[in-house]
């Protein structure tokens, strides 16, 4: 990233500085294409996953949109803003897409299906291969939000078989503020941003060269292998309910609930102890509200009200987990002491 910042040129300019910037951009696109299992020219760089999701849901020429009920808010909001008729695909108690319901909903021409690879709150991995197979049979397009999965489980655009895929850098330790929409060759997606010819005229605006270079660098790293830490953390959560535990999940994500607690109280107490955890989507900044994901899963309101999400990152350690467990046990002990008083 420091090298890219020193280049200083605009990758759209023809002078020497511009050509140097263009080379960095092209090299990064090639590295990311290899990491994502797609041709480099299929990658459209964006400001992050939210922009990429909006570009997919609002830019594809579809007459109807089917979106899973547990999608990220940026997918749900973009689908509603697209002006296209929208139907939500139900999920089971573990948060997995109801494939039988999806098959019934797929009738009619020009349908776009959007199902995430893995959920941002529970870590539950969706049966994308089955979703794609059903969509192909019905002649529908498929968009996959793979932001949560990239860098934690294998993510390969070609093997997933979808038409569009969203990814972002920061979930795997890359810079904040850079993402991409991967678009199948030959598929037309109308741009959200106009005013320039960048990204093969699919996204106007000077590219975030330093961010893209940083993302390419981190994409060379091996996927995170921290399931053992997640399992150690969950085994210490006595009396807690692990949401989505019956499904295949990301190795770094745990969503648990402790009836009798309030999520906002837990968040504040963890924060005071130097532990950063979330409730619901991290993009719902500044508020702790009811989770639409847990509601769609049929989780009881009193259980959902105490749900907390813990994400282990690229730099998480066993010491971090031990500290979390210590804080958790102190919170439980204080809670039980108050109940007994």
Cα separation, 21 vs 181, in Å, equals 21
Looking at the chain, how many residues does it have? 341
The yes-or-no verdict on residue 285 having pLDDT over 50 is no
The β-bridge partners of 97 are 91
Q: What is the predicted pLDDT for the residue at 288?
A: 56
Q: What is the predicted pLDDT for the residue at 107?
A: 85
Q: What is the pLDDT of residues 122-166, one digit of tens each?
A: 999 999 999 999 999 999 999 999 999 999 999 999 999 999 999
Q: What is the predicted pLDDT for the residue at 159?
A: 96
The yes-or-no verdict on residue 284 having pLDDT over 60 is no
Please check whether residue 55 is in contact with residue 189, taking contact to mean a CB–CB distance below 8 angstroms: yes
Q: What is the pLDDT of residues 182-215, one digit of tens each?
A: 999 999 999 999 999 999 999 999 999 999 999 9
Q: Do 2-218 and 227-340 fold alike per CATH?
A: no
The more confidently predicted of residues 339 and 196 is 196
Of 115-129, 176-190, 209-223, 287-301, the one with minimum mean pLDDT is 287-301
**Going by CATH, does the domain composed of 227-340 fall within 3.90.1150.10?**
yes
Please check whether residue 178 is in contact with residue 49, taking contact to mean a CB–CB distance below 8 angstroms: no
Domain 2-218 architecture: 3-Layer(aba) Sandwich (3.40)
Cα separation, 48 vs 177, in Å, equals 5
User: What letter does residue 153 receive in the DSSP assignment?
Assistant: B
Q: Could you tell me the pLDDT band of residue 16, with boundaries at 50, 70 and 90? A: confident
The more confidently predicted of residues 159 and 281 is 159
For residues 27-54, b (16+ Cβ closer than 10 Å) or e, as one string?
ebbebbbebbbbeeebbbbbbbbbbbbb
The side-by-side arrangement of strands in the sheet containing 86-89 is: 43-46, 179-183, 164-168, 141-145, 111-114, 64-68, 86-89
The yes-or-no verdict on residue 261 having pLDDT over 60 is yes
Q: Which of 333, 325, 306 is nearest to 229 (CA)?
A: 325
Cα separation, 332 vs 45, in Å, equals 45
Cα separation, 58 vs 66, in Å, equals 13
The more confidently predicted of residues 197 and 285 is 197
Domain segments of the chain as ranges:
2-218, 227-340
**Residues with catalytic roles:** 283
């Amino acid at each position: 990233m420091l090298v890219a910042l020193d280049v200083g040129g605009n990758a759209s300019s023809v002078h020497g500085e511009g050509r140097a910037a263009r080379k960095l951009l092209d090299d990064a696109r090639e590295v990311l294409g290899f990491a994502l299992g797609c041709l480099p020219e299929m990658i459209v760089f964006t400001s992050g996953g939210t922009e990429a999701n909006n570009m997919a849901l609002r830019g594809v020429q579809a007459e109807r949109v089917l979106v899973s009920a547990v999608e990220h808010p940026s997918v749900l909001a973009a689908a509603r803003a697209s002006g296209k008729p929208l139907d939500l695909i139900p999920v089971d108690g573990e948060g997995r897409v109801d494939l039988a319901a999806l098959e019934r909903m797929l009738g009619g021409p020009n349908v776009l299906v959007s199902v995430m690879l893995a959920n941002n709150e529970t870590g539950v991995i969706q049966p994308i291969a089955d979703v794609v197979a059903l969509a192909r049979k019905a002649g529908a397009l498929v968009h996959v939000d793979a932001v949560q999965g990239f860098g934690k489980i294998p993510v390969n655009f070609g093997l997933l078989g979808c038409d569009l895929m969203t990814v972002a850098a920061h979930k795997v330790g890359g810079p904040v503020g850079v993402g991409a929409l991967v678009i199948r060759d030959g598929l037309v997606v109308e741009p959200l941003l106009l005013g320039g010819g960048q990204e093969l005229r699919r996204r106007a605006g000077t590219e975030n060269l330093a961010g893209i270079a940083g993302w390419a660098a981190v994409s060379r790293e091996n996927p995170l292998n921290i399931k053992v830490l997640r399992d150690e953390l969950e085994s210490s959560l006595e009396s807690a309910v692990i949401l989505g535990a019956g499904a295949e999940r990301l190795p770094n994500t745990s969503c648990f609930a402790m009836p009798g607690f309030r999520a906002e109280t837990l968040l504040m107490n963890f924060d005071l102890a130097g532990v950063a955890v979330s409730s619901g989507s991290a993009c719902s900044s500044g508020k702790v509200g009811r989770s639409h994901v847990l509601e769609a899963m049929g989780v009881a309101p009193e259980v959902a009200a105490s749900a907390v999400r813990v994400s282990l990152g690229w730099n998480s350690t066993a010491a971090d987990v031990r500290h979390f467990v210590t804080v958790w046990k102190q919170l439980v002990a204080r809670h039980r002491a108050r109940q007994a008083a």
